Amino acid sequence: MEIIQSAQPLYTVAVSLLAIILIGLSGNKDPNLRESWTILAAIIKFFMVVSMIPQILDSKVIEYSLITLLPGLEIKFRVDALALTFATTASFLWIITSFYSIGYMRTLKEHAQTRYFMCFAGAMAGAIGVAFSANLFTLFLFYETITFCTFPLVAHSEKPDAIKGARKYIVYLLGTSLAFQLFAIFLTYNVAGTLEFSNQGILAGKASNALLTVIFILFIAGVGKAAMMPLHAWLPAAMVAPGPVSALLHAVAVVKVGVFTVVKVILHVFGIDLLSQLGLGTCLAYFASFTIIVASVIALRQDNLKACLAYSTISQLSYIVLGVALLAPSGITGSILHITMHAFAKITLFFTAGTIYLVTHKTRISELAGIGKQMPFTMSAFAVASLSMIGIPPLGGFLSKWFLAIGSIEAKQIPIIIVLATSSILNASYFLPIVHAAFFKEPHYAKHQSPKPKQNMLEAPALVLIPLMITAIGTLVLFLWPSLFLDLARIVVAGVTGEN
Amino acid sequence: MTLTESLPILVIIIPLISAIIIPLIGRIDKSIAFAFVISANFLSFIISISLLNTVMETGRISYWLGGWEPPWGIEYVVDYLSGFVLVIVSFIAFIISVYAKKSVEMEVEGEKILPFYSIYMLLVTGFMGMIITGDIFNLYVFIEISALAGYALIAIGKKRAALIASYNYLVLGTIGATFILLGIGYLYMATGTLNMADLRERLPMLYDSKVVLTAFAFITVGLSLKLALFPFHIWLPNVYNHAPSVVSALMAATSAKVIAYVLVRIMFSVFTMKFDLEVVPVTKILLFLSVIAIIAGSVLAIAQTNIKRMLAYSSIGQIGYIVLGIAISNQLSMTGSLIHLLNHALMKGTLFLVVGAVVYKTGMEDISSLKGMGKKMPFTMAAFTIGALSMIGVPLTVGFVSKWYLALGALKAGMWFLVFIILVSSLLNAVYFWRVIEGIYFHQKPKVRSQKSTTKDSIESLKPEIQNQDDAPVGMLIPTLILAGLCIVFGIAAFIPVSVVTPIVNMLLEV
């Protein structure tokens, strides 16, 4: 494995930090200039990420050490295949979401837009920082950056319910990370003498099994962003945020950072050999299965569309944890693929939920009957993304579920297949009725509502509509040409299993 | 004797002389007197830096007062430890003196301003003397100088309640000082010497002497009282609450640090590790007390509605941190403790200076008075946010560095539950600081919200709020921002203070 020393990872993270300053300086005086910084930073960031792909596919690794605070505390970046999978997905979707945000925020004439775009850029810097981190300290640093940058986004409206939701958000995320994750980091450093990620893990043979188990549990409990039950309640609470925030942050950046951290801990802190020896992988897999099923069942009962999507996210995130916890090559491949597949499908769903609110101010599933006639493009995108979530070919979601299923056979955990099947049925049973109602039912009106929908805005503005069409088409494209992500996943698996 | 050799005495002489001549200069022009205070403090800061520098290069400096050779004469000693603490205290005293002008003019009556600065310098004299002296009776003298100056400074403000706070502190402080004096008397009785280095040589033979044990107990209890270590903390919240903001800031940032320094001196320089661990289980007692202090301070801070009081209880918890590291007494935890002397001075200094600025602008010190301040005083509130995040212990701030060393020290000593205590305390810190931050930035008055719905353009509706911006005057803002900036600088470049602290720890633990 060849290591290239290059500052490019740093620049990739820093470009959105620079954007924060420029956005702040532009302020409210010139909104177009301000938004152009966001777009520019997003595009530059994406191309910087993409430009690293050839080297990574060549089985090289890019490293850059920024500063050593203290022995063991180093801010260091490392770009490998796993990092790049997440970074490519997140940075691409940032571009899309930036356009969507502009359309959404301007249509609703939201307040404090400067703060909004600054925090957005900060959260993205954090997400890419987590992706590129080379050790637990750097990861923790950017993990907290995201928490602090997204708090103002969740509390955006500053109304009492938003403040309440945001408070729950910060209590869960900051609380778990300070209490458990930091504890785990202290213990890891004390035991291993290093925080640096390694393909073989850093804890093997360093401590008793009991201590290792404690560290593992602390890590899993400490990553609140992964929204594993019972630490999931922040995610539905954070749905008070504006549409684009829910879309990017709670379908991609925040929650994916959570599962990404879990994946990192499993593969690069413990290593699959150590975990299978301890038997902890299987435990985690069944723990994740519980979340998958229960969250789906809860999602069935939601009437608020965003809450339904939030529980669906909780369920889907555990797929990723499940796949890695199986500790089997195909399971890991499935997990890595699912990071991307779920991101495209879920962001589409959140975009559509935001768009429906934007156009009709409807938030409840029961109000959506017949909306497909009013908003055909939006609801078609919703239908495509739902099918991808359920896992129906030819859409991206099928691929990751396929690999997860094979992974569970490789790991000889047949009950997991039943979990996957059950979950798919549950997914279908909460998504398909929405699609059905939207296209095939006549709208029914409550007494206090006007008999006809507002005629002034039928379909959403183009700046909102085009992004969600792109991501919906993305789920199809990812099924047809998944080779990039498959190759990246193959490199990750080859690295951690030691086969080249 | 050259000037460089006289530097140790100058850090005492400069503030002491200026305390006397400030009222004289003030008769000519008050603004000259103010400039004089700043320059005197700046000078002693520069001297402290150069002393620390010399010590790092050439080792321990000893200055014989009046040329009398120790152990008969009084000796002033600058070693790694005292050099480090001298720099912290003189720096904070300098920064706060720059900040003081407007805040003091508002919170202290006109004719008392000159005496205020005079006593301020006397307080600094006391602190610097406690740090630099190598004579245990001289230490007591400086403790009393700083204490008396402290009582006066607390009571000098316009608030009536300050008198009671000061009186309570006086009573308890005097009891503490008496304990210390008794202890010193017993030590003299047992050994016949007052020089610390001499005591260190003579004491090991007397470790089983009841007199020495009593002396140690008296001194430790007296210092704990002065330090406001739980359960001796009751005087502290009232003092920080009712004293003028500048005094609260100075005391919060330096007073406990100097006393903690004295505790370390007594425990590790006058007595030895062997005594602390084997003869008297003092570390165990301190461990127990510090754990309670950490938790109780944080819990009580949550219950406060007055921001100064909240910070005061938070200080009680933070003092617990410092003592915790001393009590674990291994290399990592001591590093954490000593570095927390600097880190807590920076964080608490920042927070108290911010509160002083808010009091200056609004006259209110309730937590609720900070609501919506994010738009009105953006820079001051940014400093508050940095200080608060640092108190929570977010990475890249100084708070994280302290926590890192303390937690690793606890793990190294095999005391897991202490890591748990440290983390619980950061959670509690997060609770009471986040509450304030949320109020600062995410509070909208109902009136503003109704305006928003009527204005067509969101940009328009923001304009009146921007015009309301009314930040603290530059003279207050810059010192605050410097301290806040250092919270981050030393949080990132943590290796700089650690490189200073490491030789201290090696010296104290005799590694």
B507 to B79, B83, B199, B413: CA distances (angstroms): 9, 13, 17, 20
As given in the structure block, the two tokens for residue A383 are: 């239908």
Check CB contact under 8 Å for B442 and A158: yes
Report chain B residues touching chain A, CB-CB < 8 A. Answer: 389, 392-396, 401, 404, 407-408, 411-412, 419-420, 423-424, 426-427, 430, 434, 438, 441-444, 449, 452, 456-459, 461-463, 491-495, 498
Domain ranges of chain A: 279-500
Check CB contact under 8 Å for B408 and A189: yes
Task: Output DSSP code: residue B280.
Answer: S
pLDDT of residue B455: 41
Nearest-neighbour CA in chain B from A476: distance (Å): 38
Q: Which residue has the tokens 């409550």?
A: A446
**Residue B63's beta-bridge partner residues?**
B76
A382 vs A376: CA distance, rounded Å: 10
B158 vs B161: CA distance, rounded Å: 9
Neighbour-count burial for B416-431, b at 16+ CB within 10 Å, e otherwise: bebbebbbbbbbbbbb
- What is the 3-class SS of B146-180, one letter each residue? HHHHHHHHHHCCCCCHHHHHHHHHHHHHHHHHHHH
**Residue B77's beta-bridge partner residues?**
B62
Check CB contact under 8 Å for B493 and A112: no
Cβ neighbour number for residue B219 with a 10 Å cutoff = 27
A83 vs A197: CA distance, rounded Å: 12
Task: Compute the CA torsion angle A433, A439, A440, A445 (nearest 10 deg).
Answer: 90
pLDDT of residue A374: 82
Tell me the mean pLDDT in the region B360-365: 86
Provide the pLDDT confidence category of residue B445 given band limits of 50, 70 and 90.
Answer: low
CB A111 within 8 A of CB B461: yes
Best A67, A75, A186 residue to mutate vs chain B (most B CBs within 10 Å): A186
CB B253 within 8 A of CB B92: yes
CB A382 within 8 A of CB A348: yes
Task: Output DSSP code: residue B306.
Answer: B
Domain ranges of chain B: 282-451+459-511
pLDDT of residue B444: 62
Query: Do the strands B61-64 and B75-78 form a parallel or antiparallel pair, or are they unpaired?
Result: antiparallel
Considering only CB atoms, B430 lies closest to which of A69, A140, A178, namely A178
pLDDT of residue B342: 94
Helix (H) or strand (E) holding A193: none
Report chain A residues touching chain B, CB-CB < 8 A. Answer: 28, 31, 67-70, 73, 109-113, 137, 140-141, 144, 148, 152, 155, 158-159, 163, 166-167, 170, 174-175, 178-179, 182-183, 186-187, 189-190
Own/partner long-range contacts of B70-73 (Cβ < 8 Å, ≥24 apart): B70/B134, B70/B135, B70/B195, B70/B197, B70/B198, B71/B193, B71/B194, B71/B195, B71/B197, B71/B198
Considering only CB atoms, B444 lies closest to which of A113, A158, A174, namely A158
Nearest-neighbour CA in chain A from B93: distance (Å): 28
Check CB contact under 8 Å for A112 and B462: yes
Check CB contact under 8 Å for A28 and B459: yes
pTM comes to 0.91
CB A115 within 8 A of CB A269: no
The tens place of each residue's pLDDT in chain A, 500 residues long, gives: 788 898 899 999 999 899 999 888 887 778 888 888 899 999 999 999 999 999 988 888 999 999 898 888 999 999 999 999 999 999 999 999 999 888 888 888 888 888 889 999 999 999 999 999 999 999 999 999 999 999 999 988 888 888 888 989 999 999 999 999 999 999 999 999 899 999 888 988 888 899 999 999 999 999 999 888 888 899 988 888 888 888 877 778 899 999 999 999 999 999 888 998 888 888 999 999 999 999 999 999 888 888 999 999 999 999 999 999 999 999 999 999 999 999 999 999 999 998 888 888 888 888 888 888 888 888 899 999 999 999 888 888 899 999 999 999 998 888 999 999 999 999 999 899 999 988 888 776 554 555 455 444 567 788 888 888 999 999 999 999 888 899 999 989 888 887 64
Write the single-letter amino acid at B376. Answer: K
Q: Which of B228, B256, B227, B252 is nearest to B353 (CA)?
A: B252
Residue B220 has pLDDT above 80, yes or no: yes
Query: Do the strands A2-5 and A60-70 form a parallel or antiparallel pair, or are they unpaired?
Result: parallel
Residue B456 has pLDDT above 70, yes or no: no
- What is the 3-class SS of A88-144, one letter each residue? HHHHHHHHHHHHHHHHHHHHHCCCCHHHHHHHHHHHHHHHHHHHHECEHHHHHHHHH
- ipTM of this complex prediction, to 2 decimal places: 0.89
CB B7 within 8 A of CB B47: yes
Residue B489: closest CA among chain A residues belongs to which residue? A69
Q: Which residues contact A191 (CB under 8 A, 6 or more apart)?
A: A203, A206, A207, A211, A215
Rg of chain B in Å (alpha carbons): 23
pLDDT of residue B468: 67
Residue B402 has pLDDT above 90, yes or no: yes
A264 vs A332: CA distance, rounded Å: 11
As given in the structure block, the two tokens for residue B470 are: 């009314």
Helix axes A376-390, A414-440, angle to 10 degrees: 170
Length of chain B (residues): 511
A-B C-beta contacts closer than 8 Å: 84
B290 vs A395: CA distance, rounded Å: 59
- Residues on chain A touching B439 (C-beta within 8 angstroms): none
Write the single-letter amino acid at B274. Answer: K
Per-state percent for chain B, helix, strand, coil, to nearest 5? 85, 5, 15
Phi, psi of B364 (to 5 degrees): -115, 150
Q: Which of A441, A458, A338, A462 is nearest to A398 (CA)?
A: A338
- Residues on chain A touching B491 (C-beta within 8 angstroms): 69
Task: Output DSSP code: residue B471.
Answer: P
Write the single-letter amino acid at B178. Answer: T
- Residues on chain A touching B440 (C-beta within 8 angstroms): none
Check CB contact under 8 Å for B423 and A190: no
Tens digits of residue pLDDT in B461-491 = 444 444 467 788 888 999 999 999 999 999 9
Check CB contact under 8 Å for A175 and B430: yes
Q: Which residues contact A345 (CB under 8 A, 6 or more apart)?
A: A385, A386, A388, A389, A395, A396, A397, A475
Q: DSSP labels for B31-94?
A: HHHHHHHHHHHHHHHHHHHHHHHHHHHH--EEEEGGGPPTTTS-EEEE-HHHHHHHHHHHHHHH
Helices and strands of chain A, counted as H and E runs: 22, 3
Q: Which residue has the tokens 């939207």?
A: A438
Q: Over pLDDT 90: what percentage of chain B?
A: 65
Check CB contact under 8 Å for A140 and B395: yes
Neighbour-count burial for B110-147, b at 16+ CB within 10 Å, e otherwise: eeebbbbbbbbbbbbbbbbbbbbbbbbebbbbbbbbbb
Check CB contact under 8 Å for A70 and B498: yes
Residue B132 has pLDDT above 80, yes or no: yes
